[in-house]
Amino acid sequence: MNFSFPRYLIFSLIIVASFSCKKKPPAAKSDEGVIEYRIEYLNDKVGNFSTGVLPQTMVVKFKKNKVKNSIEGAMGFFSLINIANLSEMTNATYLKFVDKKYAYEGQKNEEPCCIKQFEGMKVTLTDETKEIIGFIGKRANISFPDTNQDSFSVYYTTEIKLKNPNIMNPYKEIPGVLLEFRTNLGHTNMLMIAEKYYPENLPDKEFHLPRNYRKVTKNEMEKILNALLE
């Protein structure tokens, strides 16, 4: 009995198989690139604002030992940028609203401005995983044993080669780049979910500290941001 197939059928099967196989993004082991996160607000309103008019995306750019987080909205009238140097343990925060520009450049080992720390947080790493933007997302459970605060889970990956990527944020104990996590910006509770990853060669100037911002204290910066969100 002849089991030969027409060439066009074999070719078609190869094409289907190649598209059905999931592949990691190019240069998945890189220490340089861009991740876009969708922002979900955990409150129906933030101050007097509906969450629908607030920024919907956070962009994180990283290169070796430097990380830049950017949140922009209101058609470019609002932006909040944090630039961290993981090797030097420093970070700086820049806030723009319409034509007002404010900067706070933190001291070495200082926690980032405007990000609320999770008091009494316990991190439990697990073996559970799921695929997120082509990476293996590892699950960590976050609990607060001494408070009545609700527990939640975060996901991170060790496939992006940043050393101590969370050393300047509340998730210091998590050994990888965060892909899904919660954060508190001022009085605003948010869930960040990674949706896109771009391996990209970034110029050094991307991580230079912006000019023409008025320097303020950490307390002043937090008051300004909270006032904008009331």
User: Which pLDDT score is estimated for 186?
Assistant: 74
What pLDDT sits at residue 14? 38
pLDDT (0 to 100) of residue 30: 72
**Residue 151: DSSP 8-state:** P
Which H helix or E strand runs over 6? Answer: none
> How much is the pLDDT for 2?
46
Tens-digit pLDDT profile for residues 106-116: 999 998 898 88
How far from each other are the two terminal CA atoms of the chain, in whole angstroms?
A: 78
Residue 50 · residue 19 · CB < 8 Å? no
Domain spanning 32-228, CATH architecture: Clam (2.50)
Query: Which pLDDT does position 3 carry in this prediction?
Result: 39
Task: Return the pLDDT at 228.
Answer: 82
Q: Which residues of 79-94 are buried (b: 16+ CB within 10 A; e: fewer)?
A: bbbbbbbbeeebbbbb
3-state secondary structure of 24: coil
- Do 144 and 120 form a contact (C-beta atoms < 8 A)? yes
Low-confidence ranges of the chain (pLDDT < 50): 1-29
Q: How far apart are CA 94 and CA 215, in angstroms?
A: 9
> What integer pLDDT is reported at residue 49 of this predicted model?
66
Residues 6+ apart with CB under 8 A from 226: 186, 187
pLDDT at 48: 63
Q: What is the pLDDT of residue 22?
A: 45
> Tens of pLDDT along 136-155?
999 999 999 988 889 999 99
**Strand pairing report for 188-199 and 49-50:** unpaired
- The answer to whether 213 and 105 have CB atoms below 8 angstroms apart is no
Query: Is the CA virtual torsion 95, 222, 51, 137 positive or negative?
Result: positive
150-186 core/surface letters (b: 16 or more CB in 10 A; e: else): eeeebbbbebbebeebbbbbbbeebbbbbbbbbbebb
> How crowded is residue 75: how many other Cβ atoms within 10 Å of its Cβ?
6
Cα separation of 47 and 111, whole Å?
Answer: 25
Where do the structural domains in the chain lie, given as residue ranges?
A: 32-228
What strands lie across the sheet with 152-157, from one edge to the other?
122-132, 135-143, 152-157, 177-185, 188-199, 32-41, 57-63, 66-73, 78-85, 90-97, 100-105, 214-215
Total-model pTM: 0.83
Residue 57's beta-bridge partner residues? 38
